[in-house]
């Protein structure tokens, strides 16, 4: 998808010099092969290594399902399809990139990796990948998520990972954040700072990231490629493709082959990103260079961002609580190829409940943002009588989100929407580039 962009993608900048980053700048943080993929803006296909394919066979290809029962419940003429990524134990698409990243780390002789996790899906996926390839994993889990989802820790530890609630007192940046905001529930941005600090100070250790970066989208393009193959078999052509967007990896992966077609003028598909109203990177953010973390240590990415100092309310869709967005998706949004919508979480859980009752699968809160947008799209078709074909990414299951479902049922789920003043505070933390 990246090589098909109309305008060249904005380069990654070094946080010190503000000059474009070379591979040498990124290698102390990330594995060599992933750095190469991150900086590769010209090759449109990179083969999946054989060992990664073997692992994928355990749970891929993932199903593409027609949501007949949801269509019926809505009384819509629209045809709704979804690609379901929740069939592995980690419960989401994140395993697709975790296994690829750990494969390349092992090839390089890396023995230890660090990362952050929000809702816990990425940490679990990484723990599974590390168990498979025999690497050791240290996971900084956003404090509010670790409190909401204690069972996630148990799963990660079962796969051999060590898990710390972030901000923690084990890192310099964690101690600084705790001193400034003792009651903070943490954020992905804080946890990333801690994980990078440990990675750069531990021998033979690298940092791995489960979203946002272009190499993660590359790994997730397996979702889109499988979907494209499955739909082509039955000559199904989507009119609109919808996905939830945290850092953009599932959405980017799902739309990759279809967006490439759109950029080449081969289709006229609409693409829609859906985010929480509590963390509205696309719909209320700014297109600017920003850090990926609260501690301002990462290279700078040009993206839609709320500012690295923005700490979103403890919304239950932990996987969508990141201040920024992948840079290629940001550019596509900026150039009008991608639309975006934001929803409050009570409406999202209402959509999740309708989906569970009609289709049977209990969706993750993150995925349910896409479901809400799909339902609105399908109801619009009912008004106009159009039989549009809607495709969406059902990124995961909600088995670890039962406390969120329970609060929704009890009527205690809150909709925390940041005020313009809250957002201005985050935007004020943007670096002057
Ligand atoms: C992490 C996660 C997301 C959001 O991450 P992206 O990188 O934007 O895809 C969405 N759904 C689930 C189930 C997740 O675990």
Query: Residue 112: which residues within 8 A CB-CB, separation 6 or more?
Result: 135, 136, 137, 138, 202, 204, 205, 206
301-305 and 286-290: which strand pairing?
Answer: antiparallel
End-to-end CA distance of the chain: 27
Which residues are CB-contacts of 409 (< 8 A; sequence separation ≥ 6)? none
> What's the rounded Cα separation, in Å, for the pair 396 and 363?
6
Q: What is the mean pLDDT of residues 173-201?
A: 93
Contact (CB, 8 A) for 139 and 161: yes
pLDDT at 314 over 80: no
Mutate which of 255, 319, 352, 372 for ligand 1? The one with the most ligand atoms within 8 Å of its CB, which is: 319
Q: Whose CA is nearest to atom 2 of ligand 1?
A: 319
The verdict on the CB of residue 247 being under 6 Å from ligand 1 is yes
Fold of 95-207: Rossmann fold (3.40.50)
Q: Dig out the tokens for 427 from the structure.
A: 């935007």
Rounded-to-integer distance, Cα 100 and Cα 211, Å: 13
Q: Sign of dihedral through CA atoms 393, 396, 401, 402?
A: positive
Res 3 pLDDT > 80: yes
Ligand 1 midpoint to CA 246 (Å): 6
CA distances from 149 to 312, 332, 350 (A): 18, 34, 21
Cβ 92 under 6 angstroms from ligand 1: yes
Which residue's alpha carbon is at the smallest distance from atom 5 of ligand 1? 246
Give the nearest ligand 1 atom to 210 CA.
7
Nearest alpha carbon, ligand 1 atom 10: 366
- Residue 319: what pLDDT? 74
Calculate how far, in angstroms, residue 115's C-alpha sits from the geometric centre of ligand 1. Answer: 15
Report residue 138 CA to chain centroid gap.
20
Nearest CA to ligand 1 atom 3: 319
Query: How remote is the C-alpha of 65 from its chain's centroid?
Result: 22
Ligand 1: centre distance to CA 384 (Å)? 32
Find the DSSP H helices in 49-142: 50-56, 68-74, 94-107, 121-133
Mutate to test the pocket of ligand 1, among 320, 345, 348, 355 (most ligand atoms within 8 A of CB): 320
Record the tokens describing residue 313, joined without a space. 């309310």
For the chain, give every residue range classified as CATH 3.40.50.1100.
60-91+217-427, 95-207
- For residue 285, what is the DSSP state? -
Ligand 1 atom showing the smallest separation from residue 364 Cα: 13
Asked if residue 245 has its Cβ within 6 Å of ligand 1, the reply is: yes
Separation of CA 67 and ligand 1 centre (Å): 21
Q: Which atom of ligand 1 is nearest to the CA of 367?
A: 11
pLDDT for 337-347, tens place per residue? Answer: 999 999 999 99
The residues near 51 (Cβ < 8 Å, ≥ 6 apart) are 103
Collect all residues with Cβ–Cβ distance below 8 Å to 265 and sequence separation of at least 6: none
273 CB within 6 A, ligand 1: no
Assess whether the C-beta atom of 366 lies below 6 angstroms from ligand 1: yes
The model's confidence at residue 189, banded by pLDDT at 50, 70 and 90, is confident
| Ligand 1 centroid, distance to 223 Cα (angstroms) | 13
Higher pLDDT, 114 or 309: 114
When the pLDDT of each residue in the chain is averaged and rounded to a whole number, the result is: 95
pLDDT of residue 316: 73
Q: Which two tokens stand for residue 166?
A: 């972030």
Least confident of 127-131, 179-183, 308-312, 394-398: 308-312
Contacts for 40 with CB less than 8 Å, ≥ 6 apart: 46
Q: What is the dotted CATH code of the domain comprising 60-91+217-427?
A: 3.40.50.1100
Tell me, what's the pLDDT at 260? 98
Distance 16 CA to ligand 1 centre (A): 30
Does the beta carbon of 295 sit less than 6 angstroms from any atom of ligand 1?
Answer: no
Query: How many whole angstroms separate alpha carbon 41 and alpha carbon 432?
Result: 26
> Is ligand 1 within 6 A of the CB of residue 211?
yes
Task: Give start and end residues of each alpha helix (H) in 134-234.
Answer: 143-148, 150-158, 172-180, 188-201, 214-233
The minimum-distance atom of ligand 1 relative to the CA of 250 is 9
Nearest protein CA to atom 4 of ligand 1, as residue: 246
pLDDT tens sequence across 67-77: 999 999 999 99
Which H or E element spans position 270? strand 270-276
How far, CA to CA in Å, does 307 sit from each of 218, 229, 396?
25, 38, 28
Q: What is the pLDDT of residues 362-389, one digit of tens each?
A: 999 999 999 999 999 999 999 999 999 9
Tell me how far apart the alpha carbons of residues 31 and 112 are, in angstroms, rounded to a whole number: 11
Q: CA–CA separation, 190 vs 295, rounded Å?
A: 7
Please give the number of the atom of ligand 1 that sits closest to the Cα of 118.
1
Q: Tally the residues of the chain.
A: 433
Helix (H, G, I), strand (E, B) or coil at 18: coil
> Mean pLDDT across the stretch 196-206?
96
Enumerate the H helices of 204-326 as residue ranges: 214-233, 249-263, 281-284
364 lines ligand 1 (CB under 6 A): yes
Ligand 1, closest atom to CA 121? 15
Closest CA to 350 of 273, 411, 424: 411
pTM exceeds 0.75, yes or no: yes
Q: What is the pLDDT of residues 101-143, one digit of tens each?
A: 999 999 999 999 999 998 899 999 999 999 999 999 999 999 9
What gap in Å lies between CA 144 and CA 190, rounded to an integer? 12
Gap from CA of 279 to ligand 1 centroid (Å)? 14
For tokens 């980690």, the residue is 90
């Amino acid at each position: 998808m990246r090589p098909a962009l109309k305008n060249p993608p904005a380069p990654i900048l070094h946080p010190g010099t503000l000059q474009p980053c070379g591979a040498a700048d990124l290698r102390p943080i990330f594995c060599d092969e992933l750095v190469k993929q991150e900086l590769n803006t010209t090759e449109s296909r990179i083969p999946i290594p054989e060992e990664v394919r073997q692992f994928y066979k355990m749970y891929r290809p993932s199903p593409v399902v027609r949501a007949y029962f949801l269509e019926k419940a809505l009384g819509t003429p629209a045809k709704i399809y979804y690609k379901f990524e929740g069939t592995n134990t980690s419960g989401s698409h994140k395993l697709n990139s975790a296994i690829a990243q750990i494969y390349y780390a092992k090839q390089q002789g890396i023995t230890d990796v660090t990362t952050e996790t929000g809702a816990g899906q990425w940490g679990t996926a990484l723990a599974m990948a590390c168990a498979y390839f025999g690497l050791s994993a240290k996971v900084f889990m956003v404090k509010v998520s670790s409190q909401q989802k204690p069972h996630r820790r148990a799963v990660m530890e079962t796969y051999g990972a060590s898990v710390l609630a972030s901000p923690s007192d084990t890192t310099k940046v964690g101690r600084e954040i705790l001193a400034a905001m003792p009651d903070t529930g943490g954020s992905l941005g804080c946890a990333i700072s801690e994980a990078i600090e440990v990675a750069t100070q531990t021998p033979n250790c690298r940092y791995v990231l489960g979203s946002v970066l272009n190499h993660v989208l590359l790994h997730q393009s397996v979702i889109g490629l499988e979907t494209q193959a499955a739909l082509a078999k039955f000559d199904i052509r989507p009119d609109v493709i919808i996905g939830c967007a945290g850092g953009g990896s599932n959405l980017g992966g799902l739309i990759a082959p279809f967006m490439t077609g759109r950029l080449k003028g081969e289709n006229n598909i609409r693409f829609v990103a859906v985010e929480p109203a509590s963390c509205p990177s696309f719909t209320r953010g700014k297109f600017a260079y920003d850090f990926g973390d609260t501690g301002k240590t990462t290279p700078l990415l040009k993206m839609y961002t709320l500012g690295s100092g923005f700490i979103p309310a403890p919304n239950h869709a932990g996987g969508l609580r990141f201040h920024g967005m992948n840079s290629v998706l940001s550019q596509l949004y900026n150039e009008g190829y991608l639309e975006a919508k934001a929803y409050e979480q009570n409406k999202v859980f209402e959509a999740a409940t309708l989906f569970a009752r009609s289709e049977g699968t209990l969706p993750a809160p993150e995925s349910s943002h896409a479901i809400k947008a799909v339902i609105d799209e399908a109801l619009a078709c009912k008004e106009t009588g159009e039989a549009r074909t809607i495709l969406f990414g059902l990124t995961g299951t909600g088995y670890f989100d039962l406390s969120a479902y329970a609060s929704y049922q009890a009527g205690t789920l809150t909709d925390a929407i940041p005020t313009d003043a809250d957002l201005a505070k985050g935007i004020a933390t943007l670096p002057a580039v």
